[in-house]
Amino acid sequence: MSQHTHIPVIAIDGPSASGKGTVAQIVADRLGYHYLDSGALYRIVALVARRQAIDWRDEHALAEMALQLDIRFDGNRIWLGNGDGREDISDAVRTEEMSRGASEVAVHPAVRAALLDLQHSFRQVPGLVADGRDMATVVFPDADTKIFLTATAEVRAERRYKQLMSKGNHANLADILQDLQARDARDRQRSVAPLQQSSDAELLETSALSIEQAVESVLAHHRKSQAK
């Protein structure tokens, strides 16, 4: 990136089911920015590994595969492959099993490194909203606006529960809470790029906020950073 073409980035990190994906997409829409759902990349790695019979613990094989991923994002849809043989894997990566797989493959440093260039390639004019765990700390450390968006585990479990029920899925609140806490612990405790609030990020606690209030808050922080 030359100094003449600074492309603004809004980095939004936070734990699972915090609502950061929803907030990030709305912010991107309002600003006309591109959107990177970095968690989807780890989900894709977990899914493709499962299909190619690569063990989620096999760091080297996972990283090799991640470097060769042939994927396209198109609005809310994720495509694997291209031409007539392409497949819409948007729903396949959203299962609870792939949530777990993503969290497991994401512990490997070589997998994280293999996905860096792909993530950087999303930074295009007029700007990018990137959501994940390490957007502000590792992938876009020079982001203009850094937000750590969270809510209590109980509020997050309830949001996920309502979302599943509204889609007609059977769900158990206690199981969801337990799963979330296990995933939080794994994401926070891994040695590489753990989930943590960057020292220069704004904390946005959304337990008592509506989506619109959270969106407004992110936009206000971004306006402030762009006015500097």
**Min CB(221)–ligand DC separation in Å:** 20
| DSSP at 94 | G
Binding site for ligand DC (CB under 6 A): 16, 38-39, 42-43, 99, 102-103, 106, 132-134, 183, 187
Q: How many CA atoms lie within 13 A of 25 on its CB side?
A: 8
Nearest residue to 37 via CA among 105, 114, 104, 102:
102
C-alpha 81/C-alpha 183 separation (Å) is: 29
Q: Kindly state the smallest distance separating residue 139's Cβ from ligand DC, in Å.
A: 7
Q: What is the closest distance, in whole angstroms, from the C-beta atom of residue 164 to ligand DC in the complex? A: 14
Question: How many whole angstroms separate alpha carbon 149 and alpha carbon 10?
Answer: 12
Q: Which residue lies nearer to ligand DC by CB, 30 or 194?
A: 194
Phi-psi region of 32 (alpha: psi -120 to 50; beta: other; left: phi over 0): left
Least distance (Å) from ligand DC to the CB of residue 216?
A: 22
Q: Which is nearer to ligand DC, 16 or 217 (CB)?
A: 16
Virtual torsion, Cα 72, 73, 76, 80, nearest 10 deg: 20
Which CB sits closer to ligand DC, 30 or 190?
Answer: 190
Identity of the residue, 72 or 224, whose beta carbon is nearer to ligand DC in the bound complex:
72
Residues facing residue 37 across a β-bridge: 131
State the nearest-atom distance from the C-beta of 205 to ligand DC, in Å. 18
- Residue with smaller CB distance to ligand DC, 127 or 132: 132
Phi-psi region of 142 (alpha: psi -120 to 50; beta: other; left: phi over 0): alpha
46 contacts 104 by C-beta, under 8 angstroms? yes
Pairwise CA distance, residues 91 & 86, whole Å: 14
Q: Least separation, in Å, of the C-beta of 107 and ligand DC?
A: 8
Query: Which of residues 116 and 220 has its CB atom nearest to ligand DC in the complex?
Result: 116
